[in-house]
Structure 1
Amino acid sequence: MKKHRTQSEWLALIDEFEQSGLTQTEFCAQRGLNAKYFSLRRMKLKAQPEPTGFTQAVVNKPQAIDQVTLHYGAVTVKLPASNAQTIAQLVKALAA
């Protein structure tokens, strides 16, 4: 009886064959596979590019920040973003 195999099942069979050390004829005979069909499936699947697992990323330019807003409890402080030293001093003071 013919068995329908998924692409992942065929890939697993092909990997198993490549690890077995058997000839293709021996491997197919042991598993009841048609050697010519196995060869055809192997050739077609190996010809397909393997997915890399990567996807294209789109990087947006960061927008200029002209002001930093700090929330501490009920207090909100807005400072110019260009004054990094003042912001650092304020954060240290709040952390103390």
Structure 2
Amino acid sequence: MATRRTNQEWQTLFECYESSQLTQRAFCEHHGLSLSTFHAKRQQLTHLQTPQTNGFVKANVVEQTTRYHMTQIPTANMTLFVNDVELSIPQGTPAAYLAELIGALS
């Protein structure tokens, strides 16, 4: 029956192999290890120790609100069509606000 080893025991064996100057085959024969198990476990432990990156980064949602105060009561609305969006905006709306709004919709 095969001997079950912990990950720590395997790690110790791999460290011994690295300092042994033996080939993997000779090391496995000397320690009674299956060469295929040695390869598989080494790859598994290497994979566990390698930091995993999945391509995602943490994003923080920041709400930006633009507020403006009208000094005059608008008498009529302007209608703008931007990228298939119809905007009905009070006349007298500051141009900077309109530019920011149109930029956000683009």
- Please give the TM-score of this superposition, normalised by the length of structure 1: 0.49
- Please give the TM-score of this superposition, normalised by the length of structure 2: 0.45
